[in-house]
Structure 1
């Protein structure tokens, strides 16, 4: 009997250690391994160099549209924690001067009440540690924040609700870089009142939009090029990593560069003869893709360096947890109960 009891204890210790190792790998070590795959961008002169972190489509989960309501609190907790962990790793790696959130901050921002929206904003600021990590922050609305897709129309009330939570000018300047907050959903382009923005060759003009600008040739891209003459565009929405290049003189001829989940550095010289649009992938594993990450750009003098800092996929880890909870643990419990039955049943018979 003591021999059986000893074997049970040893097996329990081994299983416990195995589960601890699995948790350590999936919740901590996997993120450390992942950072070793990232490409480092280097500044020639730290004084004239601007480091930019780009986060797209976090779409933090709301409480209305979640399909499996019984585990909604658990899914919200896991998604929020994943965003927090991956973002913290990226922020520490880049040490950015500017952080740009390219819209679709919330999954249900457009359909939320004011109180719900305020709660989502509080969660977002906590997830991305905005009050703890110093940087210049720029916020853009997406279609899930203010409408603009399908029958969910953009309204003045939705825009006002977003702007109240994230009050900011549509023209943000840092050093020699001017960022313009575009809104393709509302066909809005900031008015350039200072002609020095366009005429000064020392300025780098960067357009920011949730919806891609150059992927489709239409009137709005022409207006953007005419009114702010951007050297660069940072956009999101498609949940994919992509680079689009064209000339302002011939915007219908576009070059598409797509390298899904490839750790690679891109470097371009900025001039009035070229426009580069960088589509940033989603940073949330809830968007149905394994290609998850953050954009990282360095602008220095007339050069831009760019790469994607890819995050580890989450679904394989969740499948492992599901396998453990659904199959392994019940089998362990059944085996343990059988052992107890074999040990104590003879004693019960003896006592009776």
Structure 2
């Protein structure tokens, strides 16, 4: 076999193995080290859930086709690998499912919904819930009855919705509906919240408070106190949050804490991970984006809920920089192999031949008679 063919086959094999690892196996290797919390112990009364946020599926306006392909493949492989490993009983998407949901026409929205269902397919026994985000229906000022209705129709969501799983209450809200300004959206949400609050009220040691799910985080000044693997960058951490834009307003936060009385809160929107203590044993987990488009090291949460506790594990997904570096190493190896061929070819066809020629001439000169004298 010629050297050129050997090099070609070697480079092809190396490239195939690299692509197989980067585009498939790396998700299994990375998520192998993640698991549900050990406490409480899994039993008939516990609920195992997967919680993710800000998938931002691209539409026809933003992003290059390769950008869309790359990000969607990353999210598809991440989600389906996690689904295979962990078999959650419920999956919660904390808003901003789409990147251009507030702009897209009806036909594109239907295509959006189909892509979402294909990418984030779950088994029949797994419950899937989706909250509205500002990229799905617009910020408060841009929400129209039409945009609201089509999202709610597609995902069976409401401005305030109660979900019961194995006797545990989950309250899912539309963050844009809590500006308390009397608009059509906020008025309905407050009415629903009042009715739900009366049903959720309980007292005594047997009282099991609900879990609150929202796209916007509850009010906090910034991410300065956050200490997570997927936290905001050092520049972003000290950025002051704007009420009703980055976080729910202080007034609406107090309203939700009072009316819902949650024992745990899960939010998204910022694209960065954070854990916030609201006092009274109430913890808020802000989930970072699930997509490489928003951060290089995305993550999601595995949570186990019981009557008495909420336990959470953070699962980091493959880092995009790691994948890029592996491809760069492959490129470097191929370049070195290709450079090796001409040098080796030069050595075989010039240096080695010249050496043999020199040896032959020396032997001939040594055996020649010298002017006829013996």
TM-score normalised per structure 1: 0.77
Q: Does 1:274 align with 2:281?
A: yes
Q: Does 1:310 align with 2:313?
A: no
On the 8 A contact 2:46/2:166 being kept in 1, the answer is no
Q: Does 1:15 align with 2:22?
A: no
**Mean alpha-carbon deviation: is it higher for 7-16 or for 118-127?**
7-16
On the 8 A contact 1:90/1:309 being kept in 2, the answer is no
* Residue of structure 2 equivalent to 1:197: 200
Compute the displacement of 1:328 (Å): 5.3
Compute the displacement of 1:31 (Å): 1.8
Q: Residue by residue, what CA displacement relative to the aligned partner does 1:79-102 show, whole Å, maximum 9, x if unpaired?
A: 222111111122223221111110
Q: CA 1:144–1:322 in structure 2 vs 1: closer, same or farther (change >3 Å)? A: farther
Spell out the pairing of 1:121-200 with structure 2 (5 A cutoff). 121-130=113-122, 132=123, 134-148=125-139, 153-168=142-157, 170-187=161-178, 188-189=189-190, 190-193=192-195, 195-199=198-202
Compute the displacement of 1:172 (Å): 1.2
Q: CA 1:325–1:154 in structure 2 vs 1: closer, same or farther (change >3 Å)? A: farther
**Mean alpha-carbon deviation: is it higher for 37-46 or for 76-85?**
37-46
**Mean alpha-carbon deviation: is it higher for 42-51 or for 319-328?**
319-328
On the 8 A contact 2:36/2:302 being kept in 1, the answer is no
SS of residue paired to 1:191: helix
Compute the displacement of 1:15 (Å): 1.0
Matches of 1:174 and 1:139 in 2, distance apart?
Answer: 15
* Residue of structure 1 equivalent to 2:212: 207
On the 8 A contact 1:292/1:311 being kept in 2, the answer is yes
SS of residue paired to 1:223: helix
Of 35, 47, 51, 1:50 maps to 47
Of 226, 242, 251, 2:274 maps to 242
Q: Residue by residue, what CA displacement relative to the aligned partner does 1:209-245 show, whole Å, maximum 9, x if unpaired?
A: 1000142571010110121111111100011111111
Matches of 1:156 and 1:184 in 2, distance apart?
Answer: 15
Compute the displacement of 1:44 (Å): 2.2
RMSD of aligned alpha carbons: 2.9
Q: Which has the larger radius of gyration?
A: 2
Q: CA 1:55–1:133 in structure 2 vs 1: closer, same or farther (change >3 Å)? A: farther
Q: Residue by residue, what CA displacement relative to the aligned partner does 1:3-58 show, whole Å, maximum 9, x if unpaired?
A: xx711111111111111221122123322221233244234251111111101001
On the 8 A contact 1:98/1:137 being kept in 2, the answer is yes
Instruction: Report how many residues are paired.
Output: 302
* Structure 1: unaligned runs, 5 residues or longer: 248-272, 344-352
On the 8 A contact 1:51/1:97 being kept in 2, the answer is yes
**1 or 2, which has the higher strand percentage?**
1
* Residue of structure 1 equivalent to 2:101: 109
Q: CA 1:205–1:84 in structure 2 vs 1: closer, same or farther (change >3 Å)? A: same
* Residue of structure 2 equivalent to 1:297: 303
Q: Residue by residue, what CA displacement relative to the aligned partner does 1:131-174 show, whole Å, maximum 9, x if unpaired?
A: x453122110111001117xx72222211121121123511111
SS of residue paired to 1:107: coil
Structure with the larger RCO, 1 or 2 (CA within 8 Å, 6+ apart): 2
Matches of 1:45 and 1:10 in 2, distance apart?
Answer: 54
